[in-house]
Amino acid sequence: MISVPLFIVLWTAGGFLKEGICAVQISRPLRLAKIVGFSWENCGKADDPAVMKSLDLSPDPINIPGDLTASAAGTTSVALVSPLSLNVTLEKEVAGFWVKVPCLDELGSCHYQDICDILNQLIPPGQSCPEPLRTYGLPCHCPFKAGEYSLPQSIFSLPKMDLPFWLTNGQYRVQGVIGNSEKELGCLKVVLTLHSD
């Protein structure tokens, strides 16, 4: 989830939240109301080729539904090509300890064999990249060429989102590691707090 694919994956995460989470059926679904205290850091090795340079989200808290203002910049010194794996570790703070959340219905601490395939499913090849990626000439399919990428400050409208029963109120940290051919290319860690209605 770094550099080029990072803000693309963040953007597509909205699609997963809208479509994937709704697959979990419970008698009284929770509705995500806000995200508080979003922070991030690179967590890779010093020589990782893909690095996030900046990622700014506002307001804090982020109200859902509501508007999110985001800007991002990253760089990769190598081309990011398929298969581009993504290992996600999701942890929740419980009584002062971080507890790993297992992979359920493709959400949680999951391994994705190729995020290039996921992008192709969300945005079929040949289809134009969604805004604001199209406006700023940012790609939404692999391969991502080596170079610097930036998303100027842009406004996204966040829809209502239902949460699965296991994703309850609390503080979470998410670590995403992208790799290719068993080699780590980059790592990003995000910390945030979820509040639901």
- Please write the tens of the pLDDT for every residue from 150-162: 999 999 888 888 8
| Prediction pTM value | 0.83
Contacts of 194 (CB under 8 A, 6+ apart): 32, 34, 35, 163, 167, 168, 169, 170, 172
What's the pLDDT score for residue 144?
93
Rounded CA-CA distance 83/17 in Å is 23
Helix (H, G, I), strand (E, B) or coil at 8: helix
Rounded CA-CA distance 95/45 in Å is 30
Residue range(s) defining the domain that contains residue 121: 3-196
Tally of structural domains, the chain:
1
Helix (H, G, I), strand (E, B) or coil at 85: strand
What's the pLDDT score for residue 29?
62
Do the beta carbons of residue 39 and residue 29 sit within 8 Å?
Answer: no
What's the pLDDT score for residue 28?
54
Pairwise pLDDT comparison (19 vs 93), residue with the higher score: 93
CA 58 to chain centre: 16
Contacts of 135 (CB under 8 A, 6+ apart): none
Average pLDDT over residues 46-70: 93
* CATH number for the domain harbouring residue 116: 2.70.220.10
